[in-house]
Structure 1
Amino acid sequence: MDRTTVQLLCPECTKDWQTSPDDLPAAAEMFHCPNCHASRRTAEFMRTDRDLQTLKQLG
């Protein structure tokens, strides 16, 4: 079975990566960029609307 991932993009340092929605806090909770440590709502790190929907459904 394929593991579902979401793509993230830091709005501050533009680091991009992907991870499982299970490894992330809920969309409205605070998340910290592993590169620059910027703190924003997890939803603001989602690269696309589809990634955000996946996070909301599976996270």
Structure 2
Amino acid sequence: MDETSVRLLCPECAKDWQVSPGDLPASSDMFHCPNCHASRRTAEFMRTDRDLQTLKQLG
């Protein structure tokens, strides 16, 4: 069975990666880039609107 993941893109350093939505805080909560430690709302790290919707549904 495939595990659902969302794609993230840091608006500061442009690091991109994938993670399970259950491993992320809510879309309106603060999230910190593991690469440059930029702090923004989790929603701002979502690569696409579809990734954001997946986070909201499964996170």
Counting aligned pairs with the same residue, the percent is: 85
Deviation at 1:7, TM superposition (A): 0.1
Which ranges in structure 2 are unaligned for 5 or more consecutive residues? none
Secondary structure of the 2:35 match is: coil
Deviation at 1:27, TM superposition (A): 0.1
Partners of 2:38 and 2:54 lie apart in 1 by: 22
Residue 42 of structure 1 aligns with an amino acid whose one-letter code is T
Deviation at 1:43, TM superposition (A): 0.1
Secondary structure of the 2:25 match is: coil
Deviation at 1:6, TM superposition (A): 0.2
Deviation at 1:38, TM superposition (A): 0.1
Partners of 2:18 and 2:48 lie apart in 1 by: 12
Partners of 2:51 and 2:11 lie apart in 1 by: 15
Query: Are 1:42 and 2:42 an aligned pair?
Result: yes
Count of aligned positions: 59
TM-score normalised by the chain length of structure 2: 0.99
State the Cα RMSD in Å.
Answer: 0.3
TM-score normalised by the chain length of structure 1: 0.99
In the TM superposition, structure 1's runs of 4+ consecutive aligned residues that sit over 4 Å from their partners are none
